[in-house]
Structure 1
Amino acid sequence: MSTPDDAVAVFRDIESELTGSNGPFAVVDAVVGGETMRVYRDTPASFDDVFTSLVNEHPDEVLLVEDGAAYTYRQVGDQAGVIAASLARRVGVRDGDRVGIAMKNRVEFIVALVAIGRCGGVAVLFNSREAEVEIAAAVSDAECVAILADGPRAARIRARDRSTPIVVVDDDRIDEPVYRYADLAAGRDSTASRPAPEADAPSWILFTSGTSGRSKGVVLTHRNVCTLVVSLRLFTETGVVTNARKYGMEPDAIRGLMPRLSALLVFPLFHTSGLVALMTTMFTGGVVVIMPRWDVRLAIDLIEQHRLAMLAGPPMVIVDVLNEASPVERIGSLINVAAAGQTTPPDLVAKLSRVLPAAGRGVGWGMTETTASVSTAGGDVLAAHPDTSGSASPVMEVRAVDASGHVVSGSGVVGELQVRGPQVMAGYLNRPEETAAVFDGSWYRTGDLGYVDDRGLIYVVDRVKDIVITGGENVYCAEVEYVLLASEQFTEVAVFGAIDERLGERVVAAVTVVDGVELSADDVRDIVRASLAAYKAPADVVFGFGPLPRNATGKVLKRALRDRYAASDET
């Protein structure tokens, strides 16, 4: 019987074989941004190249299902070519131009993502859940030459931006300048794959929460995106070879036994988690069933109807499905369930094992600034080390640094986790000072506290950043505090996170109102919702804490607040 150490050793041996000089995922040294680092020798040139190869491999397989309609790889690729040509010839998109996408999950989102790259543009993925003020600020930062948007997002953008051309994918009436997606899709011309772009030129820009309520654009290069593609494929192949050796079979025989992957797309595509879920499924020629918004009963219906094999989402999604599925056979087709986007509560892991004992489980750690996952773990490694976030991919380095700036190592020796490698972002859009604060051109400061043990396994234990991750969405406490204090109705405000069985964490606001002002909890939430996305509004509002606890320098002691709140919540 293998020991926990054996599981890691076997994983390392197989990974080394696959990434050796003669392996299919060979790793070599290269200079990136003036820094020598490890890269994959055969990294694709662009996401469009990756998608084109998938179309050639699986032309007539179904890629997307939405509202009962099915779309093959060839159909999606063909439409992307037509949209790319129309963007270039009718809208005027040129190499390096930024083109926005602002819509809920839908087929047109994925077509647009491919098309923008194919016509030489940089895809800017706006958070479709943001409030009008937030999305307007992001649009202003991005300076797009055009934005493809659904009706609700187009209306929000046009309310504050009268000049950026919008390509509307619905029939909604939007003030000029406007194009109709249907008209662009009806074009007769098509753009084929382009020459390879510069590896370190921008490919995608995704937005992440900022401390003042203004999102930051994370600039990801072609190298960033395509390195992620190879890392995801390597993780899958490592699992195949591991199982082949375990059962005394050839890897090709294991692949032949693997079903065509089918997945429910729950994460929004403007998040790296959504893009990873999409790509992971596409690599196998699999099918993705699109949900425009979360509805647990619809999700279970879709899992049962399509016999879906994979479900990935924030912990709240997994909790909802496990609680609602009755009988459990309705979700019995699931063989891979991943709670991602934030720390998975131990109770959820235990329940998942009870309800779906045959389902595999995977974990990972990363963020938008590192092009999603830095580390992954699954199979025997995760079974032996259930608290780990996995080991870093072969091209990424991770270290822990203490408060004095010294590198620390060893099990339980905690420091801020820093990351280096070809998946680290180019920087924040138009934010040189904020970029410099976290990225020195070599190492990126993640804001997560953790350690790397002697086996190279990463453990995340806390956060440096004052941030709440609720339902898979990041909420900076400072941005909520900023909005509440700006209303001039409070003398003190402190926002923090509390453990929540469904959401992972929930946002809590402890407030002291100005004398003579009367506010309810709903009033406080409304103040936040007027300026920020609804999910950033506090789930709980506490009025009776009195003067907030502070240290000698006047800083609010959030840990003391969390402890006091937890104690009051239990009584």
Structure 2
Amino acid sequence: MTTANESVAAYREIEAELTGPDGPFAVIDTVVGGETMRVYRDTPTSFDEVFAEAVSEYADDTLFVEDGVSYTYRQVSDAAGLLAGSLVRDHGVADGDRVGIAMKNRMAFVVSLVAIGRCGAIAVLFNGRESEGELAGAVADAACVVIVADDERAAKIRTRDKETDLVVVGDGDLPSAPACRYDDLLAGGEPIAAREVPDPDSVSWILFTSGTSGRSKGVLLTHRNICTLVVNLRVIKESNIALNARKYGMEPEALRGLMPKLSALLIFPLFHTSGLASLLTTMSAGGFAVIMPRWNVDAAIELIDEYKLSMLAGPPMVIIDLLSAEPPAEKVGTLINVSPAGQATPPDLVSRIERVMPNAARGVGWGMTETTASVCTAGGDLLATHPNTAGATSPVMEVRVVDAAGQALDGPGATGELQIRGPQVMAGYLNRPEETAAVLDGSWYRTGDLGYVDADGLVYVVDRKKDIVITGGENVYCAEVEFTLLASERFTEVAVFGVPDPRQGEKVVAAVTVAEGLALTADDVRDIVRESLAAYKTPTDVVFDLGPFPRNATGKILKRKIRENFLR
């Protein structure tokens, strides 16, 4: 039995070997944004370079399976080259222009992502689950030259935006001009060579994260951000191989030869950093992903069995559904990595995974869109001996703990707000200088999460400072839902909060006081939210009998007390 001290010592020793001056992932100091920070010496320059390396090594291997059809790395690359040429020739896309993607997971999403980088543009990844109004706000903020969208998203966009060029993926009716079909561009395209990236700290991708003022915020991720994530994923992979090889008395190469090719069920949407991390993890290993556009547990079990998939990452609700279905061991026995992600993991889920799928290792991490996915990870013996940790920070990332006044707290175990610094921290928010300034303290990112760092440098997240609910892997900002309800002028008091839910992780609850003279049902309240916001932001429970709401001396609603009353 490995002890806690032994697991940390082994992890740190391997980390030092991999990231030392002679290691394959050597870490050096460089100046980023006027400040010196740690970076990987051999960081790629762009996502296009990362993809080109994968194509060079795995050209004729399968990268995606969609609707039973397999597509190789070369096929995706060739399609991306044709689309890139068409975007430049037919739509006038130039270096630094913004090109949007708005669609569910499908091969065309990745082709578009590669193509946009290849023609030197910035990829804007719209949240395909947002309502028409929310999507319209994001489209207005981004000011794209052209947007590649599937039928459903194209129709939503054109309802509010009559001018932006649309490239439509699908066989439905084309929206009003300017619009053309994705397939036609590929059929008539001429490929172009990839553009060089002039500045690693220029913006490469823009991802949207839920906001509190009725509009989601565009997170500006640079080439350095994305490529650092890619190297981080490689470091995690090699660390796990080295640690397991040492544990079982083998050479790393011998263990690597026994490992199955990485194959994943792609569940997280690709407009989320979790989905992109799953894609990059698979692609960097020369593996393949089976696209599942809509979650269905029975279909998932059949896909795992048919393609002998080895990795499953998704919100805890996905893992819970799979376990609750009690699949036959022979159908899911190929899974060796099961990772609940995107939100807090229910305490009993780990033991359930071990019981139903004993061959599957579990990993945890901590991060957010603003930090280009996870900056902390743990698995194997390290997680077994420290089951509550979010993991060790990446070799190039720093974490500190600060008090309410913003002063750094010294010593292990001191609890405060966790702040992060390093080459994975975003460049800022799109068109939001004040909100950018509010979350960046110089090069330190204020996460809004409360936690501590132990004597071994492992990070623990204990609570959230932000008023946010994470349900089914999606962020719901309570203030946004409250604003929507109050704007209807049917309520005198509204408080929205989250409570634990065994399947979704958390569920959204709305406590309301209805305006005098009105009679509303819970469904009426939900309908008000659905009219303006995405379906996942709709309250699961609505309560009418918790008022008058408790307030402090300044009149602020004490939501904590309302939540406590609800849970009684």
| TM-score using structure 1 length | 0.98
Give the secondary-structure state (helix, strand or coil) at the position aligned to 1:349.
Answer: helix
Match of 1:413 in 2: 414
Name the aligned partner's letter for residue 133 of structure 2.
Answer: V
Aligned ranges for residues 304-453 of structure 1 at < 5 Å?
Answer: 304-453=305-454
| Distance (whole Å) between structure 2 residues aligned to residue 326 and residue 337 of structure 1 | 15
AA at the equivalent of 1:104: K
Q: Hey, what does 2:469 align to over in structure 1?
A: 468
Q: Which residue identity is paired with 1:29?
A: D
Q: Is 1:179 matched up with 2:197? A: no
What letter matches 2:71 in structure 1?
Answer: Y
Which residue identity does 1:402 align to in structure 2? Answer: D
Aligned to 2:130: 130
Q: Distance in 2 between matches of 1:342 and 1:216?
A: 19
Match of 1:115 in 2: 115
Taking the aligned partners of 2:380 and 2:284, their CA distance within structure 1 comes to 20
Would the alpha carbon gap of residues 148 and 188 (structure 1) be closer, same or farther in structure 2, given more than 3 Å must change?
closer
- 2:26 is matched with 26
CA contact (8 A) 2:397 2:421 kept: yes
2: distance between equivalents of 1:435 and 1:196?
Answer: 25
State the partner residue of 2:518.
Answer: 517
- Residues 118, 194 of structure 2: 8 Å contact kept: yes
Contact 1:58 1:73 in 2 (8 A): yes
- Of 490-499 and 250-259, more deviation after overlay is shown by 250-259
Paired with 2:333 and 2:48, the residues of 1 have a C-alpha distance of 35
Mapped contact 2:120–2:196 kept (Cα < 8 A): no
Aligned to 1:566: 567
Q: Distance in 1 between matches of 2:411 and 2:309?
A: 41
Q: Does residue 98 of structure 1 match 2:98?
A: yes
Q: Could you say which residue in structure 2 is the equivalent of 1:244?
A: 245
Corresponding letter in the other structure for 1:378 = G
How far 1:297 sits from its partner (Å)? Answer: 1.4
Deviation, 1:440, is 2.8
The offset of 1:194, in angstroms, is 2.5
Structure 2 counterpart of 1:534, which letter?
A
The answer for the alignment partner of 1:77 in structure 2 is 77
Q: For residues 49-88 of structure 1, what are the structure 2 equivalents within 5 Å?
A: 49-88=49-88
The separation in 2 between residues aligned to 1:520 and 1:479, in whole angstroms, is: 21
Secondary structure at the residue paired with 1:242? helix
Q: Residues 495 and 508 of structure 1 are in contact (CA less than 8 Å); yes or no, is this contact kept in structure 2?
A: yes
Displacement of 1:349 in angstroms is 1.2
Instruction: Report the CA distance between 1:197 and its aligned residue.
Output: 3.4
Q: Secondary structure at the match of 1:140?
A: helix
Conservation of the 8 A alpha-carbon contact between 1:95 and 1:119: yes
Secondary structure of 2:500's aligned partner: strand
The SS at the match of 1:341 is coil
1:285 partnered with 2:263 = no
Task: Give the equivalent residue in structure 2 for 1:535.
Answer: 536
- Is contact 2:120–2:194 with CA below 8 Å preserved after alignment? no
Contact 1:338 1:361 in 2 (8 A): yes
What CA distance in whole angstroms lies between the structure 1 residues aligned with 2:411 and 2:83? 52
The separation in 2 between residues aligned to 1:2 and 1:296, in whole angstroms, is 35
- Which stretch of the first structure deviates more once superposed, 349-358 or 36-45? 349-358
**Distance in 2, Cα, partners of 1:458 & 1:410:** 13
Cα distance in 1 for residues equivalent to 2:87 and 2:125: 17
Shift of the alpha carbon at 1:411?
Answer: 4.4
Aligned-residue offset at 1:279: 0.8
* In 2: Cα distance, 1:359 partner to 1:244 partner: 17
Per-residue CA deviations over 1:347-377 (Å, capped at 9, x if unaligned) read 1111111111121000000000000011111
Q: Take 1:418 and 1:553, find their aligned partners in 2: how far apart are those partners?
A: 29
Letter matched to residue 21 of structure 1: P
User: Given that residues 46 and 197 in structure 1 are in contact (C-alpha distance below 8 angstroms), is that contact kept between their aligned partners in structure 2?
Assistant: no
Q: Provide the rounded CA distance (Å) in 2 between the counterparts of 1:317 and 1:441.
A: 38
CA distance in 1, matches of 2:190, 2:407: 58
Q: In 2, distance between residues paired with 1:388 and 1:197?
A: 39
Q: Aligned partner of 1:158: which letter?
A: R
What CA RMSD, in Å, does the superposition of the two structures yield over aligned residues? 1.0
Give yes or no for contact 1:101–1:124 (8 Å, CA) kept in 2. Answer: yes
Deviation at 1:188, TM superposition (A): 4.4
- Is the CA contact 2:83–2:189 (under 8 Å) kept in the aligned structure 1? no
Residue aligning to 1:554? 555
Distance 2:555 2:401 in 1: 29
**C-alpha distance in structure 1 between counterparts of 2:284 and 2:131, whole Å:** 34
- Structure 1 equivalent of residue 490 of structure 2: 489
Cα distance in 2 for residues equivalent to 1:357 and 1:249: 22
**What is the alpha-carbon distance in structure 2 between the residues aligned to residue 366 and residue 311 of structure 1?**
19
The Cα offsets for residues 364-420 of structure 1, whole Å up to 9 and x where unpaired, read as 000000000111111110011010000100110001101122212444421000000
1:191 & 1:97 partners in 2: Cα distance? 17
Corresponding residue for residue 190 of structure 1: 191
- 1:320-370 deviations in Å (ceiling 9; x for gaps): 011114334322221100000001011111111111112100000000000
Task: Tell me the amino acid that sits aligned with residue 159 of structure 1.
Answer: T
Whole-Å separation in 2 of the counterparts to 1:126 and 1:532: 15
Residue 443 of structure 2 aligns to which amino acid in structure 1?
A: S
Deviation string, structure 1 residues 467-517 (Cα, Å, up to 9, x no partner): 000000000000000000000000000000010000000000000000111
Query: Is contact 1:363–1:377 with CA below 8 Å preserved after alignment?
Result: yes
Q: Aligned partner of 1:451: which letter?
A: Y
Equivalent position of 1:298 in the other structure: 299
Give yes or no for contact 1:409–1:452 (8 Å, CA) kept in 2. no
Matched residue SS, 1:507: strand
Offset of 1:192 from its aligned partner? 2.8
* Shift in Å, 1:296: 1.4
1:8 corresponds to which residue? Answer: 8
The DSSP-based 3-state class of the residue aligned with 2:135 is helix
Q: Is 1:166–2:166 an aligned residue pair?
A: yes
Q: Which runs of 5+ in 1 are unaligned?
A: none
1:242 shift after superposition: 1.1
Residues 228-267 of structure 1: pairs in structure 2 closer than 5 A: 228-267=229-268
Residue pair 2:120, 2:197 contacting (<8 A) in 1 also: no
> In 1, Cα distance between the equivalents of 2:431 and 2:381?
44
Amino acid at match of 1:160: R
Structure 2 counterpart SS, 1:408: coil
Query: Which residue of structure 1 lines up, in the alignment, with residue 144 of structure 2?
Result: 144
Amino acid at match of 1:64: F
Q: Distance in 2 between the 1:351 and 1:479 partners?
A: 35
Alignment deviations for residues 283-312 of structure 1 (CA, whole Å, 9 cap, x no partner): 111110001111111111111111111100
Give me the identity figure in percent: 68
Contact 2:125 / 2:208 at 8 angstroms: preserved in 1?
yes
CA contact (8 A) 1:52 1:193 kept: no
Is residue 214 from structure 1 mapped to residue 215 from structure 2 by the alignment? yes
Measure the CA separation in 1 of the matches of 2:357 and 2:327.
Answer: 13
Q: Given that residues 498 and 509 in structure 2 are in contact (C-alpha distance below 8 angstroms), is that contact kept between their aligned partners in structure 1?
A: yes
1:88-137: per-residue Cα shift (whole Å, max 9, x none)? Answer: 11111100000000000000001000000000110000000000000000
Q: Distance in 2 between matches of 1:497 and 1:458?
A: 24
Tell me whether 118-127 or 319-328 shows the greater mean CA deviation.
319-328
Between the aligned partners of 1:15 and 1:91, the Cα distance in structure 2 is: 47
Q: 1 CA distance for matches of 2:2 and 2:153?
A: 53
Structure 1 CA distance for aligned equivalents of residues 155 and 89 of structure 2: 25
Q: Contact (CA 8 Å) 1:409, 1:453: kept in 2 or not?
A: no
Contact 2:301–2:327, Cα closer than 8 Å, also in 1: no
